[in-house]
Each structure stands twice: as structure tokens, then as C-alpha cells.
Amino acid sequence: MIMERIRQVVPVSRFVAVVPAAILIAVGLFHSVRAASAHILYHSAKYGAGARDAKQALALCARSHALYKNNYHICLFAANTAYSASLNAAGAEAGRLRAESEKWSGVGLGINRYNRDLNLAMLSVLCADKNRRGEAVVFWEKYTDWHYWDPFNQLVLLKMYAWSGRFNDAMNKAILLKGTVSEAEASAVVANARSRGSAATGRTGE
């Protein structure tokens, strides 16, 4: 009915040009409304009702992401919220929350694979499982290879090597970090790793 009235008022040639433009405007408005609604839900998860309840925050994040799937900040917030909640949980619930954190980290990395905070969120989940230590080291090695000259990334990798018993690799990273803002912390980590290694050797020799 509406289209018929438009045809009566607008010449056919102009009608052909107006319809695609109208469709584009309608689609744009539709996506704008969805994006705005998603942001409101995200804001509520982070600063509103969700700020007081992890379960509610994660539910709001899920609704926000369903409306607008290109905002990796939603994924990062959900991943960190789930992981933090897992630290105060036990048993199956802690495992479920870590799995949810890993899921959200993965979704976020699918949007922006080079974001450091998302990579750190995934690393936290991997490190939380003692059976995935090797996977955690490989994961951060790959990220560090992409942004090799960032002292922070190298320092985290040094800590990962020390944590997993790869002391020679840790010392090599300490050498690489000399003259950077991370030099002092790197040296402290290596010294602590050496101390733990010497103590372990002493107990073995007893």
C-alpha cells in the first residue's frame, strides 16, 4: 500500500533510485539500534547490575554479544569476569567458569587476535591448569613472536620459562632484556628461579 502511494507520487526513474537508498538507510538504522542496545547491555554488565554479580554480568555480556558481535571488549570483560569468579569457586563450578573464560577469550581473539589483554586472558586460563603448562608456554611464544621487541611480552615469556623449569631459556631472555625497563624484574625472576633450582638439587642430594 505504501509502496503504491510512493509510485504514484514519484516518477519510475526516481523510484528506482530511491528504493535502494531507502533500503540502505533502513539497514543502517537497524544495525545502529542493535549496536546501541549492545553497548547499553555491556555498560550494565560492567558498571550496573552486573558489577555486583558475575553470573548476571556474564548473562548481560552474552546478550550484548548476540546483538553486536564485533566488540571484542565485551569478550575481554566476560573472560576476565569468569576467570575472577573461578578463583572464588571450587570443584566443578571453578572448572566451568574457567571454561567460560576460555570460551570468551577465544571469541575475542577471533575478532582481534593481536590484542594483548585478550591473549593474557587466555594465558591465565591455560596457566590455571597444571596439565596445560606446555600449551601455555607455546601459546605465549607465538604471541611474542608477533610482537618480539616488546619488553613486557619477553618478560612474561621469561616468567613462563622459569615457571616451567626451562631455566636456560629464562636466562637467555634476561640477557635480551638488559637495558630495558624490564631488566631489574627479569634479573630478579632468574635469581629466584636459580635459588629454587639450587634448593631442589640440595634436597635431592640429601
Domain CATH for 61:
1.25.40.10
Q: Which of 134, 199, 142, 196 is nearest to 164 (CA)?
A: 134
Residue 88's φ and ψ, nearest 5 degrees, are -105, 10
Q: Are residues 36 and 122 in the same domain?
A: yes
Radius of gyration for the chain, computed over Cα atoms and rounded to the nearest angstrom: 25
Does some domain include residue 143? no
Half-sphere exposure of 69 (CA within 13 A, CB side): 4
For range 155-180, the mean pLDDT: 95
Q: What is the pLDDT of residue 136?
A: 97
Structural domain range at position 119: 25-128
Residue 37's φ and ψ, nearest 5 degrees, are -65, -40
Model confidence band, residue 198 (pLDDT cutoffs 50, 70, 90)? low
- Cell 616451567 belongs to 164
Q: End of a domain among 95, 128, 161?
A: 128
Left (φ > 0), alpha (ψ -120 to 50) or beta: where does 147 sit? beta
Separation of first and last alpha carbons in the chain: 94
Q: Are residues 122 and 182 in the same domain?
A: no
pTM of structure: 0.79
Please count the structural domains in the chain. Answer: 2
Does some domain include residue 65? yes
Query: Does residue 205 carry a pLDDT above 80?
Result: no
Q: What is the pLDDT of residue 143?
A: 97
Q: What is the pLDDT of residue 13?
A: 55
Does some domain include residue 206? yes
